[in-house]
Each structure stands twice: as structure tokens, then as C-alpha cells.
Amino acid sequence: MTERGLSRAEVQLVLRTALKKDAVRVLDFKEEGVGANVGFMGEHNTLTVHYSEQESENSEISFFLKRLPAGERFRTFVLEHGLFAKEKEMYEKLVPLMERSLRRKMPVADCYLVRDDSGYVILQDLQRMGYKLWDKYALLGRRQVEAAVRAVAALHAGSLAAEATSGKLMPRIADHCLKEALIADNTSDNVVSRQWHFSTWKTCCSLLGKMHNLKVDEEKMHVAWEEAACVAAGFSAKYRNVLSHGDLWVNNVLFNDHADGVDAVLVDFQVYRYAPPALDLLTLLHLTTSRDFRAQHQDDLIEFYIRQVDDFLKAAGLDRKTLLPDFAAQTHQSFEEFEIFGAVMAARYIPICLKQGLIDPSQAPSFTSNEKYATKEFAVDQSDALIAAFGRGPIGRVFEERVLDTLNCLVDALKIKLNERRNI
């Protein structure tokens, strides 16, 4: 029996690994899509397995199965730009190394099988463990943000611990941590990412003009987009770098709210980077909280993050203040220096990612493999489709509020930072 290339023997291996038992036998298994399971960078499915165990009654267990995108264009994008290879390396090599170095489990799902030739990963079903996706239209509260920051701190501390115990910097350990695919500038040969780069720029320029009645200097705005792409490329010669998630919006953090508090786990490691820690924190805060929330809580959350990194390293027998005496000061300084990065990343993500489910795909501007549309002159403007979605019921109104808050933050950041070019 096979299910889309998945064999009974492979399912048997997954089952034994997950249950840590040899005396279990697969009876049958089935793969089903999870809601709108075809995403930009992967197909999300549930693998349900019925099995027997010696004298016990038959039982059932589920796993999360992530496949390459079904569509040829995005499947090619994921393979050509190494996104599947990154996720494979993270689960097979980097997570085990960080767990050994930090002497604790990383806040990620357990991985049971990676198949290169068929292009799928089988992971622990976090929903079965009580974890849930947050409503992508809803802002995170303080408790959820702290849980997410704690998970990010564990990832970063794992990177620092791995470097300290191995005596090697992460680029000498990880083959793919310096390769950027998702965020491109105007010089990239990555047509898909370059189209997104120019489309989000053009769309935000148009939204500012139509919603704020502002005369937008598109060239100056493009400077900000290019600067953010440069920062997103990762490696900094100025600040300490860590293995960073690289794509921390609300769909890539799962939460378990229980009597003792809130736990968070990170998912989707296809675009991890070796970069200053501030980039992950800025992305998380700008994509999941409001401008007012950040004004009230951001400084406290930076300090909370630093304390969490200290605690994780201390529990592993490592003293952060000896290992990295200027880590706290660097975190604060880089947070301020890269402020525009967070604002631009939110402007790139929020209008486009939150439109899914509100806009009929047949009515939205479409992208093609034509390089013509990966230029400033022919950038795809999605503003009219987004504005049309604002009045579509309660979710449409929330969508409008999120976009307005994002644009207001962008205006504030550009006023202060736009003319200051920086090198990281």
C-alpha cells in the first residue's frame, strides 16, 4: 500500500520512532489535506495511522505531513532556491545539535522522516499535543507574545550554545544559513521573490496615496524596500549573529494555552538565516502586534528576551555575560538601528498575507513567470483588490484596521529613518 509515494514501511518506521516502541504494527493509514492546504511553500496534510500493539486494542495516531507545493511554479521555486533543503537540514542536523548543546528540547515539532526524492517531511502533530494556530486576523496579547519571544530566545540560545560547544560559527556547521530566497532586492535573479518585492512596494505606495491622500515619493519608498532586503540577507559584520527563524508571522507560531501559562512552538524553517537576533524579534512584533502595543511593551519585551537567553544558556552551564559580554547592548542597539526593517517587513507581509480568504483569486492580480513583472516599471499593484476587501463583513473591517496600522507605522518609520542609509 502506498499513499502518494508514502509506503507502509516508511509509515511503520515513523510509527516506531514516534512511539519509541518496536512492537507496533501499521494496520492502515490515510493522508488528508488540512483546510486550504496548498500554501506558497508547501502542502499541509494530516497523516492518520491505525495501528496495533501486542495485546492492546487497536489505536490511532496522527502526524503532520508537509509536501512540496503541488503547483509547478512554486514547487520549482522551493527546490531551486533550497527551501526544502533548508528545512531538511534544520530538522536532521541543526535541531539535534542545538538540543545537545543547550541540554533541552528546542521549541519545534519532532521530526520523524524526511524524504528528498518524494519531497516531504513527517512531523509531530502539534495540534494533537494541544497547540493551535492563532487567528491570523487577531493581534497577539502580552501572554502570547511572551511565549513566542521565549521560543525565539530558545532557538537563538541553541545557536549560541552550539557555537560555544563546537568551537565553530554556524556557517561552518550549516550549509544553507547564508542563502536567502524569500526576500529579494532588484538585483536578484530570483524572479518570484523579485516580483513580490516590487509588487509589495507598488501596492504600499498606492495604498498610502489612496487611503491617506499622501503624495508618495516612490523612489524614496523603494530605498526603504532595498534597505530592508539588504538587512534580510542576514549576516552582519557589526553585530553577533544567531541562527534565526526568518519568517516569524502568526502562522508560523503555534500556542498551547493551559492552566500554568502559555507555551509556543515555531514551525516552518524553510527560510532560516544567520542574522542579528533583532531581525527575528522585529519581524515577530511588527507582524503580530499593534503600534500601540509596541509603544507600551517593546522595551520590556527586549529585556525579557535577553533574560530568557541568559537563563537558557545558564541552564546549559554557559555564562552569557562571559561568553557574550556585549550581547544585551548589541541587542538594544541593533533593534533601534533596524527599526525600519520591521516596519517594511510588516508592510510587505500584512496586506498580502491577510488578503487570503477575503479576495477571490480570480479577481486578484496574478503573477506569472514573466520577468517583465519583476521590475519597478511593471510591478503588480494589488491596492484596488485590497481596498475592495475592506468592507466585506467583520473580517474585512479587521483587515482594514490591520493594514491602516501597518501603513501608519511605515509612515512614522520612514519619516525618521528614510534618509539614513546603513551597512550592517
The fold adopted by the segment(s) 131-417 is Aminoglycoside 3'-phosphotransferase; Chain: A, domain 2 (3.90.1200)
Q: What's the alpha-carbon Rg for the chain, to the nearest Å?
A: 22
Contact 176, 82 (CB under 8 A): yes
pLDDT one digit per residue (tens) for the chain, 424 residues: 455 779 999 999 999 999 999 999 999 999 998 865 445 678 999 999 999 998 778 999 999 999 998 878 778 888 888 888 899 999 999 999 999 999 999 999 999 999 877 789 999 999 999 999 999 999 999 999 999 999 999 999 999 999 999 999 999 999 988 887 777 766 777 777 888 888 899 999 999 989 877 778 888 889 999 999 888 887 899 999 999 999 999 999 999 999 889 999 999 999 999 999 999 999 999 999 999 999 999 999 999 999 999 999 999 999 888 889 999 999 999 999 999 999 999 999 999 888 877 876 666 555 555 666 567 677 888 899 899 999 888 999 999 999 999 999 998 888 744 444 333 3
Q: Record the pTM.
A: 0.92
User: Which amino acid is located at 235 in the chain?
Assistant: F
Helices (DSSP H) in 82-167: which residue ranges? 83-89, 95-102, 142-166
- C-beta atoms surrounding 383 within 10 Å: 20
Cell numbers that stand for 189 in this block = 535573479
Ordered strands of the 132-133 beta sheet: 132-133, 253-258, 261-266
Q: Where are the domains of the chain?
A: 1-124, 131-417
